[in-house]
């Protein structure tokens, strides 16, 4: 079994990777993937804390993980649909191209 500390280190690493991906990459598909990675980092922290403090009897951590997966799936669906629409319109998937609303 991994210790809580090890789990949290991995979780923070996943989150940081995701944030880096969202901020630094221009390909919207990669951005969406990075969002998923961030979500998984958060989910891992939930599961780890759940096991640490609620013990074998508590399942709240796992439940939130499942909920996060469902929300992530829905988010991916909406995100990909928007991406498709955007791609058809602009013939590219570069987020820097979507600057119509700049101030």
Using alpha carbons, select from 27, 32, 30 the residue that is nearest to residue 93.
27
Out of 22, 64, 76, 92, the residue judged to bind another protein by CB under 8 A: 22
Rg (CA), the chain: 17
Residue 4 contacts another protein per CB under 8 A:
no
> 7 or 31: whose CB is closer to another protein?
31
Q: Which is nearer to another protein, 1 or 100 (CB)?
A: 100
Residue 70 CA to residue 54 CA, distance in Å, equals 23
Q: Is 64 in the site for another protein (CB under 8 A)?
A: no
CA distance 56 to 59: 8
Q: Which stretches of the chain bind another protein, using CB under 8 A?
A: 19, 22-26, 28, 31, 95-96, 98-103
């Amino acid at each position: 079994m991994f210790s809580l500390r090890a789990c949290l280190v991995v979780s923070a690493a996943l989150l940081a990777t995701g944030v880096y991906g969202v901020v630094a990459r221009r390909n919207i598909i990669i951005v969406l993937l990075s969002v998923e990675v961030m979500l998984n980092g958060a989910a891992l922290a939930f599961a780890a804390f759940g096991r640490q403090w609620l013990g074998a009897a508590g399942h709240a951590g796992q439940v939130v993980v499942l909920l996060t997966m469902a929300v992530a799936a829905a988010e991916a669906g909406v995100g990909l649909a928007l991406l498709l629409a955007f791609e058809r319109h602009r013939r590219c998937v570069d987020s820097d191209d979507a600057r119509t609303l700049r101030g």
